[in-house]
């Protein structure tokens, strides 16, 4: 992901926040709604990778991060009277969940798309640079 400007970072943060709110509502409605929203987010990421649309890919990545935070909120465990070690283990589990939605899942989806996507069209042919022999035979006025 390239950070192009402060405005683009704000757009990405707002996209992540919007998906966080939508996913939280989807979790309240049921697992089917949450799975459908995840399918839409990852489908947008796959489409953006397939078509090489970098802005849509970045937005889908931010949406996936927001969805990951909503999964953490859904899995929230009450730890009021738990030991310190158990609290640290639960926080490590939350970090692994966020790590999955931010890095692992996009990398796996991107790798799948790169294997299935046809090769890019070759660029325009470029004239080879002049060899020393050509430079010796031709003067600067040629």
pLDDT in tens, 28-83: 999 999 999 999 999 999 999 999 899 999 999 999 999 999 999 888 888 888 88
The CA distance from 136 to 85, in Å, is 77
The whole-angstrom separation of Cα 26 and Cα 87 is 27
Say whether pLDDT at 142 is over 70: no
**Greater pLDDT, 6 or 34:** 34
For residue 13, the tally of other CB atoms under 10 A from its CB is 13
Residues of 100-113 as b/e, b for ≥16 C-beta within 10 angstroms? ebbeebbeebbeeb
Alpha-carbon separation of residue 29 from 58, 73, 94, 116 (angstroms)? 27, 15, 22, 35
Q: What is the mean pLDDT of the chain?
A: 88
Residue where the block lists tokens 């909503």: 70
Residue 30: predicted pLDDT: 93
């Amino acid at each position: 992901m390239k950070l192009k400007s402060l405005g683009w970072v704000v757009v990405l943060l707002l996209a992540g926040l919007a998906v966080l709110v939508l996913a939280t509502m989807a979790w309240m409605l049921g697992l089917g709604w949450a799975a459908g929203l995840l399918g839409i987010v990852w489908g947008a990421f796959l489409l953006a990778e397939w078509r090489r649309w970098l802005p849509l890919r970045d937005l889908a990545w931010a949406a996936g991060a927001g969805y990951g935070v909503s999964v953490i909120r859904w899995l929230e465990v009450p730890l009021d009277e738990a030991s310190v070690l158990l609290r640290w283990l639960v926080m490590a589990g939350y970090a692994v969940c966020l790590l999955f939605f931010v890095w692992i899942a996009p990398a796996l989806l991107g790798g799948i798309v790169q294997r299935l996507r046809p090769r890019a069209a070759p660029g325009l042919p470029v004239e080879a640079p002049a060899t020393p022999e050509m430079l010796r035979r031709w003067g600067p006025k040629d």
